[in-house]
Amino acid sequence: MEDLVDRLEELERRVAALESAQPEHAQLPWAVARLRQEFADAGKRTGGVLLAGALQLPTGERFDWQAQYPTDAIVGDVWTIEAANCLAALADPVRLRLLQEIVYGRRTAADLAAIAELGTSPEIYQHLRQLAAVGWLQTAGLGRFEVPEGRLVPLLAVLAAAQR
C-alpha cells in the first residue's frame, strides 16, 4: 500500500510540474493567444483589439472584414467629441431600427418611410443624415443607403457589446 501512495504522490508531483510548464497563453481562447503573439512580434507590448467578422446578411451579401488596433491608439487618442457623436448617433431607437432595416435590405427612403413607427419622411431623412454624418451610413446611388463595408462589423460589435 505504501508503494501505491508513493507512486500516486509522484504522479501528482509530475502532473503539477507539467501544468506549471504550460505557456501563459495556453488557456486563452485561440484568437486572444494569436493576437497577443502578433502584437508582441510587432513590438506592441500593450497589446490591442481585434475586430473581425465573417458574415452573410439576410440579403445574401457576404462580408469578411477585420482590423487590429494597438491599445495605445485606442486608449490614447480616440476619446474625442467625434467618437461621442458617432456613439450618440446609435443612441436613438429609431436610428437603430433604420440601420437594422437597411442591413436587412430595405435600402431606400421610400421603403423605410413605409414603416409607420419610424416616423414621417422628413423625420426619417433627418435620422439618415445624422447616421451618414458620422459614417454609419453612406449613399449608394438612386436614393439608396447602405452601411459601409468597413463599418458593418464595428456596428455589430458595438451592438454585441451593448448586450447584457
Class of domain 69-161: mainly alpha
Phi, psi (deg, nearest 5) at residue 123:
-65, -40
Q: Grid coordinates standing for 114?
A: 413605409
pLDDT digits (tens, 9 = 90+) for 70-116: 888 888 877 899 999 999 999 999 999 999 999 999 999 999 999 99
Closest CA to 137 of 100, 111, 162, 110: 100
Contact predicate 53/61, CB 8 Å? no
112-162 pLDDT per residue, tens: 999 999 999 999 999 999 999 999 999 998 889 999 999 999 999 999 999
110-135: b (≥16 Cβ within 10 Å) or e: eebbeeeebbeeeebeebbebbeebb
